[in-house]
Amino acid sequence: MKSKKLDEARFLAVLQRVLPQTIQDPHLANAIYEQVLKEVRLFNSLDSFEKFCEKGSLPDAEPATVAEFQSQLAGNFGPENVVVTPQEDGTAVAVEIALPDHIVNTLVKVVAPGTEEEEAEAPYIPFPVSLPEDPELVWLLARRENLGPDEAVRALANIQEEFWATKKGQVLQREGVERSFAEFVSNIPATALAESGIKRYHKDPETLKPLHLIPTVQAGDPLA
């Protein structure tokens, strides 16, 4: 994932440098760059969605869960291009995504917590994280037991980078939302985290609190 992101960054940097040298009209050069950037983001969003369909699932087919899932897809592909329809038996939701050159139709499983299929996955364990500039402010997250802490950190960094590149992330930035970890944790859909084996317990961080032990009173002490 890191190598892929680096290759994309290099490609976009080269494109941004070369276009003005080959196309004299700056508006046209910028339009071409923005269109290529849009296609790259679309490709990444589709790639992430396909990986989620392979291993991921929704916990239920309740209207609120389906609405959150559709909102996430709408942020990546545009609300006018996404249709999510729960199956009548409640075992899956049908997803239709209209892309510029074709239409994607797929099913996303619904696996209730505690079922046999869900229990086959590694359980979640605590994964508290903090920023180097403020180590005493801790976000309470969780990670799959088979996902190492270093892997979880890298996955979280990639998810954050991808989130700010989505339509939802772009809209938030245009609205003046700070591109910070706190805003990322508050706004990232739960399904986007679950895809990489990460879970959010709380949106707001907590401050580390020192534990002051009460002295044990010994026999013979004046207070005994």
pTM: 0.48
29 has pLDDT over 50 = yes
pLDDT in tens, 152-202: 999 898 898 888 988 888 889 989 999 999 999 988 888 888 888 999 888
In terms of Cβ atoms closer than 10 Å to its own Cβ (0-12, 13-18, 19+), residue 139 is: buried
Chain centroid to CA 117: how far? 23
Model confidence at 216, pLDDT cuts 50, 70, 90, reads: low
93 has pLDDT over 90 = yes
Between helix 167-174 and helix 63-77 the angle, nearest 10°, is 80
